[in-house]
A and B are shown apart, each in its own frame.
Chain A
Amino acid sequence: MSEHIVIIGAGQAGAQAIASLRGEGFEGSITMVGEEPFLPYQRPPLSKAYLQGKLERERLFLKPETFYTDAKAELILNVAAAAIDREKKQIMLVDGREIPYDKLLLATGTRVRPIVVPNAHLKEIHYLRSIADVDTLRAVFQPGKRLAIVGGGYIGLEVAAVAVKHGLDVTVFEAMDRLMQRAVSPQVSAFYEEAHRAAGVKIHFNTTVEKFEGGDHLEGVTAAGQTWPADIALVGIGVLPNEEIARDAGLAVSNGIVVDNCTRTDDPSIFAAGDCTWHPGREDVFLRLESVQNAIDQAKHAALAMVGKPTCYAEVPWFWSDQYDLKLQIAGLGRPGDRHVLRGDPAARKFAVFHLRDGKIAAVEAVNAASEYLVGRKFIAEGKMVDAEKLADLSIPMKTMA
């Protein structure tokens, strides 16, 4: 009898797994279960072009419907998976259906971290994770509205950039003392702070939102003992891994579903890929990555593991963010204690910060600087020793260092 692979989660990792399974010659049947009513789609444009109304919904879909029919993958959409029965090797859906599997891939992704303060239920308080979230937000995204953004991370800042250009009055409340604190170096934070302020965004640091004000409608945001008026709020304070279905089935979880570097859980029939995984990074330090790159690469490795060709996952993580005319490209992961080397001039809106560790590049953050990003990413992968003086010297082209 032919093998049946079931995928829970219809996002970037799930779609990639189908492509890779068929690419690896898997001939059994595939079923993918997704909670949202849509074909797998790209999330990055949601806070950018889709919010701006510059991208129609159908352009978000990763693959056309014919891809799934050609791949003979059955899609069960708009239904969440409820549980895994590892003994019977089947999953249960919330509508009561039972689907048997031979191998199971968990690509369950993440969900937004809710803000837990008084009046957080008010309908003018938005999150941004799905098509539905943006459709709701866009309906009230009108010039002149006062938008309070809770959280100065990627989501909050990408929305701030779109909103201020659209004529909204934007204020960002950040609990830490700088923007994108988890993701970038202080120099890059400072540069983005300046760019946002210049565009008209107001930013408050060290300001934890304590309460939303209002009765039937949102009227304001109280933070650090002070109240600011607001018509709409967007909360972007991170995400939580959808790990409960794994945990309830007795699989190991720890800020994500625990997998080895071949995407295997401790059940030989169950694998996991994407944002939901707690996995050994290329430096063998367990971590969770929220990125397109990780979803794609881990799904490729999961497909290999499921067809019996497990290979180690050791790709260099990469990320990007578009805000205004600024393209931020990041490769690798910085750590406290890394030496930061600046190349180029932030005032020219084109520069990079390299993170050096033990004489090698550990990470690069590049703003409108693709050479620095690409060469940096290559050097990280190769573990190449670099000369900090040369890296900082703009008269030496990046290409000649490669």
Chain B
Amino acid sequence: MPKIKFIDHTDKEREIDVPEGWSVMEGAVKNLVPGIDADCGGACACATCHVYVDPAWAEKLPPKTDMEETMLDFAQDVESNSRLSCQIKVTQELDGLVVRTPKNQH
């Protein structure tokens, strides 16, 4: 099962097994990673699952859809490596992915 490393705003690291086909957001929520609200449950409707992807991984992720791009345009503290974690589907290729979670989503 692919392992995803979450680093929270206090630099605490958590390495979590996330089943293929799940989203990175689901991996976080089911394992109580702090900093992700995911109010809409992954429908790309709320922009409360914003994360920062480790730059080394940015290229390897599937590209953002227009919807994700636009939702991110209006999120707080957006960086070039910002993504909505509900839109990143976990695959074997993403084994070892590193993402940082913000302090909170507002």
Residues of A within 8 A of B (CB): 42, 44-45, 59, 61-64, 66-67, 70, 292-293, 296, 318, 320, 322, 327, 329, 368, 370-371, 374-375, 378, 399
12 CB contacts below 8 A, A to B, read A42-B41, A44-B40, A44-B41, A64-B30, A67-B32, A292-B41, A293-B39, A318-B45, A327-B45, A327-B67, A371-B70, A399-B73
Determine if B88 is an interface residue (Cβ-Cβ < 8 Å).
Answer: no
How far does the Cβ of B69 sit from chain A's closest Cβ, in whole Å?
8
Contact across chains for B40 and A292 when beta carbons are under 8 A apart: yes
From B32, B45, B66, A64 is in contact (CB under 8 Å) with B32
Contact across chains for B26 and A322 when beta carbons are under 8 A apart: no
Q: How far is the CA of A366 from the CA of B51 in the complex (A)?
A: 25
Determine if B22 is an interface residue (Cβ-Cβ < 8 Å).
Answer: yes
Contact across chains for B67 and A59 when beta carbons are under 8 A apart: no
How far does the Cβ of A402 sit from chain B's closest Cβ, in whole Å?
8
How far does the Cβ of A13 sit from chain B's closest Cβ, in whole Å?
12
Contact across chains for B67 and A370 when beta carbons are under 8 A apart: yes
Residues of B within 8 A of A (CB): 22, 26, 29-32, 39-41, 43-47, 66-67, 70-71, 73-74
Q: Most chain-A Cβ atoms within 10 A of its Cβ — which of B32, B45, B67?
A: B45
How far does the Cβ of A174 sit from chain B's closest Cβ, in whole Å?
25
Contact across chains for B71 and A45 when beta carbons are under 8 A apart: no
Q: A61 — which chain B residues lie within 8 A by C-beta?
A: 30
Contact across chains for A329 and B39 when beta carbons are under 8 A apart: no
Q: A66 — which chain B residues lie within 8 A by C-beta?
A: 32
Measured CB to CB, the nearest residue on chain B to A44 is B41
Closest 7 pairs between A and B when the two form their complex, measured CB to CB: A370-B70, A320-B45, A374-B74, A42-B41, A371-B70, A64-B30, A370-B71
Q: Knowing that A368-B67, A371-B73, A374-B73 touch, tell me 19 more A-B residue pairs with CB under 8 angstroms.
A: A44-B43, A59-B22, A61-B30, A64-B31, A67-B32, A70-B32, A292-B39, A292-B41, A293-B39, A318-B45, A320-B43, A327-B43, A327-B45, A370-B67, A374-B47, A374-B71, A374-B74, A375-B74, A378-B74
Q: A318 — which chain B residues lie within 8 A by C-beta?
A: 45-46
Q: How far is the CA of A83 from the CA of B30 in the complex (A)?
A: 33
Measured CB to CB, the nearest residue on chain B to A372 is B70
How far does the Cβ of B30 sit from chain A's closest Cβ, in whole Å?
5
* Chain A interface helix/strand/loop/mixed: helix
How far does the Cβ of A384 sit from chain B's closest Cβ, in whole Å?
15
Q: B44 — which chain A residues lie within 8 A by C-beta?
A: 327
Measured CB to CB, the nearest residue on chain B to A295 is B39
Q: How far is the CA of A292 from the CA of B29 in the complex (A)?
A: 17
How far does the Cβ of A300 sit from chain B's closest Cβ, in whole Å?
11
Q: How far is the CA of A61 from the CA of B40 in the complex (A)?
A: 13
How far does the Cβ of A43 sit from chain B's closest Cβ, in whole Å?
9
Q: How far is the CA of A59 from the CA of B18 in the complex (A)?
A: 12
Beyond A59-B26, A64-B31, A368-B67, is A45–B74 a contact (Cβ under 8 Å)? Answer: no
Q: A63 — which chain B residues lie within 8 A by C-beta?
A: 29, 32
Q: How far is the CA of A374 from the CA of B78 in the complex (A)?
A: 15
Measured CB to CB, the nearest residue on chain A to B71 is A370
How far does the Cβ of B83 sit from chain A's closest Cβ, in whole Å?
15
Measured CB to CB, the nearest residue on chain A to B67 is A370
Q: How far is the CA of A158 from the CA of B73 in the complex (A)?
A: 28
Q: A399 — which chain B residues lie within 8 A by C-beta?
A: 73
From B22, B30, B39, B47, A296 is in contact (CB under 8 Å) with B39
